[in-house]
Structure 1
Amino acid sequence: MAGRLIVISNRIPLEGPGSGGLVVALHEALTDRGGIWIGAQETDADTASEKFTRHEAPGYEKLTFELTAKDQEEYYLGFSNSVLWPLCHRRTDLIDFESRYADGYERVNRRLAHMLAEILEPEDRVWVHDYHFFPLACFLRELGVKNRVGYFLHIPFPNGSDLPALPHHETFIDWISSYDLIGLQTQRDVAVCLEFFRGHPKAELLLDGSAKYGSRTTQVRSFPIGIDVDVMLQAADARRADATLRLGDGERLIIGVDRLDYSKGLVNRLKAMESWLQHREPDEPRATLLQIAPPSREKVLAYREIRDEMELLTGKINGEYSEIDWTPVRYIHKPVERELLAALYRRADVGLVTSLADGMNLVAKEYVASQDPEDPGVLVLSNFAGAAEQMPDALIVNPYDVDEVGEAISQALRMPLDERKARYRELMRGVQEQDIRWWTRAYLDALARCPVNLATETEGSCD
């Protein structure tokens, strides 16, 4: 197909191709197809430029649009992360809204739409990523853009019953119906999205599973994101982990790796560890939970509160259950480099992924990919993580039931080798078949097949 691939994301690696599965996949897609990657860059200026800044990149272009300090506060920390993030993660009680946040969100998206419309060529395809840009296609359509515009939401799609908590929520359907293809992580999210369309008096569902609103038709599909399996395999060296951890003889390792975020169920996870310690049989081996939780959005009140709660609970558990030569919880509140993480995954007897709401959760897949096929660990996985749809051979748990998670920890630590191997084989097969490159191809192929919507008008208003 002629035309360029234009990728839009809030974050963009400016030094080299970057690291991480998604970043590597987008880099490879653009290198293979040619195109442009557009992302945000902070500026000290009081007013953001109306022009992109170009950056060197082999095989394709990188462009950045500016975010002023005001944009950062209102568009990013404000509307994106204090309104949309809790909305999509079923925590409307944590929404912290001020009217200026909505103004900033619209301002940045409108500015980006105008800048993008100026450089688009007729055959270009636009691939927009994540909740920072819900209204971008709507603003592009207002400007007369007819190009195929796809969207991928990396986090859960918001429940229709929660959407009234969104300021000016009546415009949300105009935002999402302006895309030709909405990509979501799970079939559960697809059902939620289609139900949202079904419940709108001016929308209808078509026989092919697409949604029609006004004169526009939108495809809604599930594209579960994967990982770069080879990268994890190459880095997974348990000897490095042993040298770093210095566990006691016979001591088992449980690992959790998450950003410090209320959606990850970290407090409940510590309580589940406490439950396991309370019910641990005298002949059960010692186990240490290594919880790595790098800081995230610490300017947002809810994140500061969970940090304080984690520190208090870790101290309480260790104070009650530690012994002279054993500390049950090791809590690390800083980033750990990727190669060491892969080694820690391989060494860990249990991978604990107990999020309360998650689009996918790639830690679950990275843990499986890092295992020794001859002596694999056991994945304990929340039924609220998107990964649970693809990974039924994990021990699936309700993260709100801390006793159930504690029992799953005990089951994982006692699981016979034959059962661990059987579960690992099925999990690894899925991780390999639907890796990050599969995800990129599947989405872009689906976008290329979308019928061209010649109409640019929306049924309502974008703001």
Structure 2
Amino acid sequence: MASPKERAAKAGGLAVALREALGKRGGLWFGWSGETRPNAPAEPKVVRSGKVMYALQDLDPEDQRAHYAGYANGTLWPLCHYRLGALSFRRTDWEGYRRVNAHFARALLPLLKPDDIVWVHDYHFILLAAELRKLGFEGRIGYFHHIPWPTPEVFLSLPSHAALVRDLAQYDLVGLQTENDVRALLTYLSTEARAWIAPGGVVGLNERRFRVAAYPIGIDADAFVKDAAASVGSEEEERLQSSLAGRVLAVGVDRLDYSKGLPNKFAAFGELLNHYPQHRSRVTMMQIAPLSRGEVAEYRALRRELEELGGAINGEYAEFDWVPLRYLNRPFPRATLAAIYRASKLGLVTPLRDGMNLVAKEYVAAQDPDDPGVLILSRFAGAADELTGALLVNPYDVEGMAETFDAGLTMSREERRERWGANMIKVQTNTIHNWCERFIADLSQIADHFAEAPEPGR
């Protein structure tokens, strides 16, 4: 199940892995077309390519606004990223979110066979299983939540929390990024929804059984390793090295979003130059931050804030032959990113909250095994659970981050290799292909998990 156009365009490795899985098995890829028009047709546009059928659904402009900009990204996104001050809840948006999920279910049902497996991706379509069940579909349906799942105290701030979870129970398997996310959801289910929880994450709620489990997502590690190795001696790599003039590079790659902690990262780099003057004119920070959701006022304000912060840092510390901070607002192809990662001695991944953050894994995969860089990673990114070789930081502690930047820049090659090796094992053993196969296998065999779960009181 594809989510909206913006995420699909960005996902890259996820889209490739899902297409590969469908290409091997055959199947249907269904989602929003990215187009809006009044009185959009009820039937999706269907195109077949090999074993895969693509079905793309147009939306009414107001439905799309209420669903996507309204409830999905104005309510659920800030809620799941613990930004309650940015949360906006309107009942009309909630109704629009329900309406679009119901519309998608009606469009999808005629394309399904009774024994099909349906895999729904992300917070835009949490209600889809419930809508399919209302229409009579009894097959297996799984859901994967790519962003964090909030603790019960935060989740209760959502006026529609009970209805949302009641419909979530219509899935057979709910996948989350980390064990912390699983604990958060299961705690809510047991304390607030009065569900019973069996070993293995099997849940009983309102005559329904479903399973909640962690499936930390990976990357296409081999492809990233190859792209990074191929970048050595390339024209792009030579241009990059020439522009650095022998200086060390620190890199951050994040979508322009308030959850990524970019102002704190900029401030920490300024703090590094202020309190560790030995790094002045010797290190350059590059922040790649493709624009997103430009129609939202908070995102426009964030862009202005970063431009001002970047300008202030460069104004204070730049030399006639050195610009400390390079701030780029456009995306780059994967091969170019691999070249930049490989050339960087610091990978700066410091979100305030993130479901996983695949940039951290991409950075690890792109490194030169003989002389790897150091991953600086927020403890609030899901990747921190796996990448134990990273230097963990609290992104709210600007001075602490600057101190850790200095530690990474002065770390010995021996320690860098040891830390990178520990991270690379995790990246290579938990790829996006393994993740995809594991989820589908568990969803296919979900009846076995239910059979093994004891009834309450036994």
TM-score normalised by structure 2 residue count: 0.93
Residues 26-64 of structure 1, C-alpha deviations (whole Å, 9 max, x = no match): 001101111100010144531121112102322210001
Among 34, 45, 55, the residue aligned to 2:37: 45
Q: In the alignment, is residue 447 of structure 1 matched against residue 443 of structure 2?
A: yes
Q: Deviations over 1:161-192 (max 9, x none)?
A: 22233232220221211111000111111111
Task: Write the letter of the residue equivalent to 2:46.
Answer: R
* Contact in 2 for aligned 1:82/1:300 (Cα 8 Å): no
2:6 aligned with 1:9: no
**8 Å contact 1:88–1:158 — kept in the other structure?**
yes
Tell me the residue number matched to 1:459.
Answer: none
Match of 1:437 among 427, 433, 439: 433
C-alpha contact 1:75 1:101 (8 A) present in aligned 2 = yes
Letter in 1 for 2:4: N
Structure 2 CA distance for partners of 1:238 and 1:261, relative to 1, 3 Å: farther
Aligned residue type for 2:168: I
Write the distance in 2 (CA, Å) between the matches of 1:335 and 1:283.
28
CA separation in 2, counterparts of 1:282 and 1:452?
A: 61
Aligned partner of residue 75 in structure 2, secondary structure? helix
Match of 2:329 in 1: 333
| One-letter amino acid of the counterpart of residue 141, structure 1 | R
Counterpart Cα distance in 1 of 2:2 and 2:339: 33
Distance 2:328 2:360 in 1: 19
Counterpart in the other structure of 2:187: 195
Question: Shift of the alpha carbon at 1:71?
Answer: 2.4
1:220 and 2:216 aligned: no
Higher mean C-alpha displacement, 420-429 vs 110-119: 110-119
| Greater shift in the superposed pair: 270-279 or 193-202 | 193-202
Aligned residue in 2 for 1:129 = 121
**Aligned twin of 1:180:** 172
Q: Which residue of 1 aligns with 2:454?
A: none
Tell me, yes or no, if structure 1 residue 366 matches structure 2 residue 362. Answer: yes
Equivalent position SS for 1:282:
helix
CA contact (8 A) 1:349 1:376 kept: yes
- Give CA-to-partner distance per residue, 1:326-349, whole Å, 9 cap, x none: 111100011122211110000001
Q: CA deviation at 1:14?
A: 10
| 1:162 alignment partner, one of 154, 167, 179 | 154
More helix by percentage: 2
- Stretch moving more, 96-105 or 437-446: 96-105
Residue 270 (str. 1) matches residue 266 (str. 2): yes
Alignment deviations for residues 83-123 of structure 1 (CA, whole Å, 9 cap, x no partner): 11101110111012333211211111011112222332111
**CA–CA distance in structure 2, aligned partners of residues 92 and 13 of structure 1:** 23
Structure 2: distance between partners of 1:191 and 1:13 = 26
What SS does the corresponding residue of 2:74 show, helix, strand or coil?
Answer: helix
Q: Which blocks of at least 5 consecutive residues in structure 1 are unaligned?
A: 1-6, 455-463
Give the corresponding residue for 1:260.
256
For the Cα contact (< 8 Å) 2:252–2:348, is it kept in 1? yes
Deviates further, 389-398 or 233-242: 233-242
Quote the Cα distance in structure 2 between the aligned partners of 1:425 and 1:105.
44
Q: Distance in 2 between matches of 1:375 and 1:202?
A: 53
Query: RMSD across aligned C-alpha pairs, in angstroms?
Result: 2.1
Q: Which AA in structure 1 matches 2:266?
A: L
**Residue 100 (structure 1) aligned to one of 82, 86, 92:** 92
Instruction: Tell me the distance in 1 between the aligned counterparts of 2:361 and 2:429.
Output: 12
SS of the residue 1:49 aligns to: coil
Q: Is 1:138 matched up with 2:134?
A: no
1:408 is aligned to 404
CA contact (8 A) 1:151 1:182 kept: yes
Contact 1:12 1:39 in 2 (8 A): no
Contact 1:275 1:406 in 2 (8 A): yes
- Look up the match of 1:286: 282
Q: Cα distance, 1:146 vs. partner?
A: 1.2
SS in 1 for 2:49: coil
TM-aligned CA distance change 1:281 to 1:225, over 3 Å: same
Give 1:410's aligned amino acid. D
**2:448 and 2:226 mapped to 1: Cα distance?**
42
> Is the alpha carbon distance of 1:323 and 1:8 closer, same or farther for their aligned partners in structure 2, counting shifts above 3 Å?
closer
Could you tell me how far apart the structure 2 residues matched to 1:168 and 1:346 are?
45
Runs of 4+ in 1 over 6 A off after TM superposition: 12-15
SS of equivalent residue, structure 2 residue 447? coil
| Structure 1 position 244 matched with structure 2 position 276 | no
- Between 419-428 and 384-393, the greater mean CA deviation after superposition: 419-428
TM-score computed with the length of structure 1 as normaliser: 0.92
2:305 is the alignment partner of 1:313: no
Deviation at 1:387, TM superposition (A): 0.3
Deviations 1:214-243 (A, max 9, x none): 111111111111111122122212443341
